[in-house]
Structure 1
Amino acid sequence: MSKKRVEVAVGVIMRQQQVFVCLRNQAQHQGGLWEFPGGKIEPGESVFHALQRELKEEVAIDIASSTELMRIEHDYGDKSVCLHIHSVTEFSGEPHGAEGQASKWVAIAALHELDFPAANVAIVEKLQQG
């Protein structure tokens, strides 16, 4: 039986040396941990279009553009993920937890103080290295 592989578009929403993060619902995979918002890429969908759709749904912003930051492949044991991480600095609207999830702006220098899923640790490290 092959393990489920999920392609995910992740948005690192940045403004003035701060990053917007959301708390994963307890019922979700990796629930109770902080994350950079985003979601599954649908078949035939580009990373940018998935990011536009997911960030509109999750944090109620419209993104004008994104820049590829990095890509991470991670195996959680029960499933593997391929995270297509993009930085987002051009957007309209004020991000908030549009699905009722806790959310906040965090200084890049303080990101390591939050608990993230294992696959997100490399994103925090890259952001803090500048």
Structure 2
Amino acid sequence: MHVAVGIVAGADGAVLITRRPDHVHQGGLWEFPGGKVEHGESVIAALGRELHEELGIAVRAAEPLLQTGHAYPDDRRVLLDVWRVTDFEGEPHGREGQPLVWASPGEMERYTFPAADAPIIAALLGEVGKAD
């Protein structure tokens, strides 16, 4: 499954994370917002569509951050296409009733994420280290 993932950061560097519904795969875990890239859809189009559906924001600009793949023990495979959202319109809110939190990269360890998100968190922590 090809997934577009958005890293939405506030002016203070905190990153928006959302909690997965309990009834879905990896339910109850925290994640970076995004969703499945549909057949024939570009990654950037999927990112814009998913962030509007989930958070009510319109992506105005984004840049690729990384791509990472992961195979879960239940034979599910994901390719995460991760983009840093550099400009958006609107105030993010959980349009699907999901909780959301602004967390600094250093606070990410307080939350439990799917294993596939580990390289994203590592990249965000590496960026913080570069800024110090």
Normalised to the residue count of structure 1, the TM-score between the two structures is 0.93
Distance 2:85 2:73 in 1: 30
Q: Tell me whether 1:77 sits opposite 2:96 in the alignment.
A: no
Structure 2 unaligned segments of length 5 or more: list them: 128-132
Segments of 4+ moved more than 6 angstroms: none
Distance 1:107 1:69 in 2: 17
1:113 Cα offset (Å): 1.8
Q: Tell me whether 1:108 sits opposite 2:96 in the alignment.
A: no
Q: Secondary structure at the match of 1:96?
A: coil
Q: Secondary structure at the match of 1:66?
A: strand
Aligned pair partner of 2:3 in 5, 8, 18:
8
1:112 Cα offset (Å): 2.1
Alignment of 1:1-130 (within 5 A): 6-15=1-10, 16-78=12-74, 79-130=76-127
1:39 Cα offset (Å): 0.4
Q: Contact 1:112–1:124 at 8 Å: present in 2 too?
A: no
**Per-residue CA distance 1:103-122 (angstroms, 9 max, x = gap):** 11111221122100000011
**Per-residue CA distance 1:8-66 (angstroms, 9 max, x = gap):** 00001112210001000000110000000000000111110000000000011000011
Structure 1 unaligned segments of length 5 or more: list them: 1-5
Q: Contact 1:41–1:50 at 8 Å: present in 2 too?
A: yes
Percent of counterpart pairs with the same letter? Answer: 44
Distance 1:96 1:89 in 2: 18
The aligned residue for residue 130 of structure 2 is none
Q: Contact 1:21–1:34 at 8 Å: present in 2 too?
A: yes
Q: Contact 1:65–1:88 at 8 Å: present in 2 too?
A: yes
Normalised to the residue count of structure 2, the TM-score between the two structures is 0.92
Which residue identity is paired with 1:71? Q
Q: State the Cα RMSD in Å.
A: 0.8
1:68 Cα offset (Å): 0.5
Q: How many residues are matched? A: 125
